[in-house]
Chains A and B, each alone.
Chain A
Amino acid sequence: MAATDRPRSITASAECGDGTRPVRRSSAVRTAAGGAPGINKTISALTSAALALPGLASSVQAAGPMERQWDVGYFHYEEGGERMRVESLKQSLVLPLGDALDLTLNAVRDTISGASPIYNVPEIRCQDGRVFTAPVISVSGASGNAEPSGTRPERPPLNTGDCRLGSARQVMLEDTFQDVRSAGDFKLNYYRGDTSLGLGAGVSREQDYDSRFLSLDLRREINDKLTTLAFGYSLASDTFSPLNKPDFSGDKDAHQILLGLTQVLGRNDLLQINLTLGYDQGYLTDPYKNVYLLSTNAAIDESRPDSRRQWNLLARYNHYFTAFKAALHLDYRYSRSDWGIDAHTLEAAWIQPLGQGWHLIPRLRYYTQSEADFYQSYFETLPASGDYSSDYRLAGFGALGGGLKLTRQVTSQARLDLGVEFYDRQSAYGLQEHADSAFADYGFTVYSLNLHLEF
């Protein structure tokens, strides 16, 4: 069973999928030994001072084809409470093609298993101490444990004074059988003077979900290369063929436009602002999610609007602390959609060289979102708008995340990265006003191992 809950990209975890990447690559210089400036503290101090000299930033960070390199990584994603697990293998190959072109080839294979929530039912607590879970008439989801139709389950009468509704509980789609996602994409970059142009395309396949995407981006360095302007457009065209709906498939198109500005403020400071506008249209409903309807005691398919407009703002500030030879990265993101979800993300990372090729990178992140206009943990009756969902990802909540990455430059051509990342979602962490969704609180951990080779 394809689990749409899991993050489509493990490294950009859960809800912050604005797809914004730093525009400015680190040094693209090729030296005889693939020398990596910035590894040693002395070298990084001298290099940053040298870059402050007039004109030199361009020569050392000249936009040009990337070096030949190969990355291979293994990721293990595991949710608490025996929920979803994902094993992921990724590889990425960068090949320079002559003076003005480079080609990047990425391939990913994810193996997914585990359980995911389908809907929430309220618990009914009676004065005599009995606790009922509201019995559900039928589940039109893919679950094999749906009640046989025909007999109407019993429920104690509500609002008579004896029994009343308590907190909700998640009903899980158990024993999700293993699904495999295979994805591949390429990106071709063309460099000419201060301008570079990128063209990318890719496919991703799962048992029930196919995605094809195309991207175009243009970057231009101006103002003695201290300013980089970026423009990007991407289109993803997806087809959902849910396993629980044999004769149905839904299509979705997602357009995204990115406008970016990166400004070098001095030899130790860099500011980046990205604005992303997204427009999704088509089948945006999750076919494996239900809502519980109290009036009829039934779980029925959720229904979402068939379009979504979204805009994201990313503000990023990097500062290099000469005294510590370390860098601080501060990110703030604001995202707003016409589904009513407003989200704020604050993230800080500290990049500390430890000497002898070691780097330690601690990272902390806080996220808060408001709930979607059509979200309720369960529904009394169906709302007139025709849009309703109990998907916990559309609830109001907050999350704390963090991680630690240790990297070691083993030789001038090889680097090993070891990372661990945690995530803790709590209804109570949310800052905006929202209905309690503590029943959906969960956390995950990601372990990662990556080998980077330049050859």
Chain B
Amino acid sequence: MEENRITRGSGLVVVGGSAGSLDVILKVLPLLSERLLIPVIIVLHRKTSDDNILVELLAAKTKLPVKEVEDGDIITPGIVYVAPADYHLLIEKNGGLSLDASEKINYSRPSIDATFESAALAYNTQLTAVILSGGNGDGTEGLKAVKEHKGVAIAQDPSTATAPYMPQFAITAIPMDAILDAEGLAEYINQFS
């Protein structure tokens, strides 16, 4: 496992969450190394109106730069990207981030599935996808794609989640590489620094 961790999942970490996931993210961010050598992308379900507040809140918790994705952004190591409300966020194979304002998927936009699937295609074994607290099934289909492309799948330990349904649903459907709490997740990400 230790060897796997170094050679796999070392290009990009994508984190998806819904209800209750902000709590975990606010615990993980302060623990992240300032010398992180990979980008982290966060996809959260939320209302459309609180965009700026969310980014400011996240930025206050870490020394890493936090950026809400804009069309045309190129993925850069050491940056924490946040998917904008009301858009799907897709990862391009050329290292670009693209936005998609199409139909909601399972009542969600951004859809965690859509980001995980595109990231799996672009990063293959170099991808780590993390599913956090939430009250619906978004993310599980995306994690299947991550595993098909030999990436690393991680779930938040449901016993630590405010809304355990989402990580539990994924754990039941997919063999996870790890099930972690906030500290464990930060430790995992910090190995890429």
Q: Do A and B bind each other?
A: no
A residues lining the B interface (CB < 8 Å)? none
B residues lining the A interface (CB < 8 Å)? none
